[in-house]
């Protein structure tokens, strides 16, 4: 199932379970043993009638001197059964995923000894009670905000409705599968936001699946995940746009081949807010019409403006767009005259919005003002070492998606 950063909780190493006495016993690990001369000794952990079991503790069943024919771990109420894996030799079974908090489970085991005699064992346990739940409010990309085909720079961004303090437990249950495996890592921006990006851009035409298996996962003291969530999306062609505030040009390359060169005009400077930020931006939205107002200046004040602008592609949260600017066509390719946006001609803007995917990298160089990693989707502004600094489980390969 991949490395710990992306594998489901509960896949813990199995301890060897041994028993030599007949009848139910309790070993030093708290594993209930049943069976004897007329049945296969079966070990079950958690032991029978154990209470307050952590939701991420796996159920482990082991048969000694025989094989397991079936194991069912059924939760009370709406909890349903726990799925599990049986070893190739039929001697061991362990549960996958997490149990639900405040739930009673019945473990029913059918085993067969060497002579073919069947034996049934049952035991029960109950999980720790949960006081409240946490849930995912948004996963990006998604169908409504970005579309399900996105650019090679697209991060996976998850927002929670409650602060998460047990980051390791949550991150362990956030699984990324991809048709072309990549090295990647999660990164906590704060207790309610965790994002994933590869070490390098996604390969073009990669299928990606996000599985947030958080139902029953501990997010903090007395708080457990409400549900599981899954999102599938696709990486499109590779398109990278590079622009220079010194050369006043935007160059678009698709799959490594130059497909368009567009004269541009960037921020005029003078004041810090009027510089276009340098760095690796991502296309965040495509807006046919955007109302732009002067930052920090109200109506009636010197320098105030309110403009209706067409065919805009947002590249930061500080008001930067690549957009149509018919008023600056004469300066495009020659001088920087904007208030921080990247101005291009109406024809080029119509082409750019049509040919850009959300998540496409748009790289600007030449400005003294650098894009902050938290300004919009500035994820690629951090090098890999900086990105891993805020990952609980560090880097690992994605799981192959068929």
Instruction: Tell me what pLDDT residue 19 has.
Output: 28
Question: Are 287 and 294 a contacting pair, CB within 8 Å?
Answer: no
Same-domain pairing of 41 and 64:
yes
Given 187, 248, 281, 323, the catalytic residue: 323
Same-domain pairing of 118 and 136:
no
Task: Please confirm, yes or no, whether 323 is among the known catalytic residues.
Answer: yes
**Could you write out the DSSP letters of every residue in 113-143?**
ETT--EEEEEEEEEEPP-SEEE-EEEEES-T
Task: Give residue-wise pLDDT tens across range 249-302.
Answer: 999 999 999 999 999 999 999 999 899 999 999 999 999 999 988 777 778 777
d(CA 167, CA 70) in angstroms, rounded, equals: 35
Instruction: Print the domain residue range for 222.
Output: 132-236+385-400
Within a domain: residue 3? no
For a pLDDT cut of 90, what percent of the chain falls above it?
Answer: 82
- Specify the CATH number for the domain of residue 53: 2.60.40.3780
Same-domain pairing of 34 and 140:
no
Question: Are 35 and 67 a contacting pair, CB within 8 Å?
Answer: no
Task: Give residue-wise pLDDT tens across range 312-331.
Answer: 999 999 999 999 999 999 99
Exposure letters 16-32 (e unless 16+ CB within 10 A, then b): ebebeeeebbebeeebb
Within a domain: residue 96? yes
Same-domain pairing of 246 and 358:
yes
Q: Which of 110, 127, 144 is the last residue of a domain?
A: 127
Question: Are 265 and 337 a contacting pair, CB within 8 Å?
Answer: yes
Within a domain: residue 13? no
Within a domain: residue 17? no
Span 18-22, average pLDDT: 27
Task: Give residue-wise pLDDT tens across range 217-258.
Answer: 999 999 999 999 999 999 999 999 999 999 999 999 999 999
pLDDT over 60 (residue 15)? no
Within a domain: residue 380? no
The one-character DSSP state at 65 is: S
Task: Give residue-wise pLDDT tens across range 205-216.
Answer: 999 999 999 999
pLDDT over 60 (residue 27)? no
Same-domain pairing of 229 and 257:
no
Within a domain: residue 354? yes
Same-domain pairing of 184 and 225:
yes
- Specify the CATH number for the domain of residue 274: 2.40.440.10
Same-domain pairing of 178 and 194:
yes
Q: Copy the structure tokens of residue 92.
A: 């061991």
Same-domain pairing of 213 and 255:
no
Instruction: Tell me what pLDDT residue 39 has.
Output: 66
Within a domain: residue 5? no
Same-domain pairing of 169 and 247:
no
pTM (2 d.p.): 0.84
- Specify the CATH number for the domain of residue 221: 2.60.40.3710
pLDDT-derived band at 32, boundaries 50, 70, 90: low
Closest-CA residue to 385 (of 170, 172, 151, 187)? 187
pLDDT-derived band at 33, boundaries 50, 70, 90: low
pLDDT over 60 (residue 190)? yes
Same-domain pairing of 328 and 391:
no
Given 187, 281, 341, 379, the catalytic residue: 341
Same-domain pairing of 286 and 302:
yes
pLDDT over 60 (residue 10)? no
pLDDT over 60 (residue 3)? no
Total of domains in the chain: 3
Same-domain pairing of 160 and 83:
no
Within a domain: residue 14? no
């Amino acid at each position: 199932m991949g490395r710990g950063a992306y594998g489901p909780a509960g896949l813990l190493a199995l301890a060897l379970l041994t028993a030599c006495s007949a009848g139910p016993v309790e070993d030093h690990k708290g594993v209930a043993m049943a069976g004897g001369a007329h049945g296969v000794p079966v070990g079950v952990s958690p032991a029978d009638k154990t209470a307050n079991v952590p939701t991420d503790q796996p159920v482990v069943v082991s048969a000694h001197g025989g094989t397991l024919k079936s194991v069912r771990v059924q939760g009370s109420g709406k909890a349903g059964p726990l799925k599990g894996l049986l070893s190739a030799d039929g001697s061991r079974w362990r549960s996958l995923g997490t149990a639900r908090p405040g739930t009673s489970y019945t473990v029913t085991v059918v085993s067969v000894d060497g002579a073919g005699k069947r034996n049934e064992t049952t035991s029960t346990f109950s999980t720790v009670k949960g006081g409240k739940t946490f849930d995912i409010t948004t996963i990006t990309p998604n169908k409504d905000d970005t579309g399900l085909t996105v650019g090679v720079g697209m991060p996976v961004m998850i927002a929670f409705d409650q602060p998460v303090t047990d980051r390791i437990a949550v991150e362990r249950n956030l699984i990324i599968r991809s048709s072309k495996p990549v090295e990647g890592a999660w990164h906590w921006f704060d207790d309610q936001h965790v994002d994933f990006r590869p070490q390098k851009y996604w390969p073009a035409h990669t299928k990606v699946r996000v599985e947030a298996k958080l139902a029953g996962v501990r997010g903090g003291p007395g708080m457990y995940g409400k549900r599981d969530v899954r999102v599938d999306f696709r990486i499109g062609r590779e398109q990278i746009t590079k622009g220079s505030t010194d050369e006043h040009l935007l160059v678009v390359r698709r799959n490594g081949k130059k497909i368009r060169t567009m004269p541009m005009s960037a921020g005029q400077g003078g004041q810090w807010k009027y510089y276009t930020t340098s760095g690796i931006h991502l296309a965040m939205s495509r807006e046919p019409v955007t109302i732009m107002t002067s930052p920090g200046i109200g109506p009636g004040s010197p320098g105030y403006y309110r403009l209706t602008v067409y065919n805009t592609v947002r590249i930061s949260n500080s008001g930067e767009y690549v957009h149509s600017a018919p008023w600056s066509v004469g300066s495009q390719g020659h001088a920087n005259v904007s208030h921080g946006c990247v101005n291009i001609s109406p024809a080029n803007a119509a082409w750019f919005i049509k040919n850009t995917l959300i998540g496409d990298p748009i790289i600007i160089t030449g400005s003294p003002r650098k894009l902050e990693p938290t300004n919009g989707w500035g994820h690629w502004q951090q090098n890999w070492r900086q990105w891993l600094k805020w990952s609980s489980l560090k880097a690992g390969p994605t799981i192959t998606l068929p």
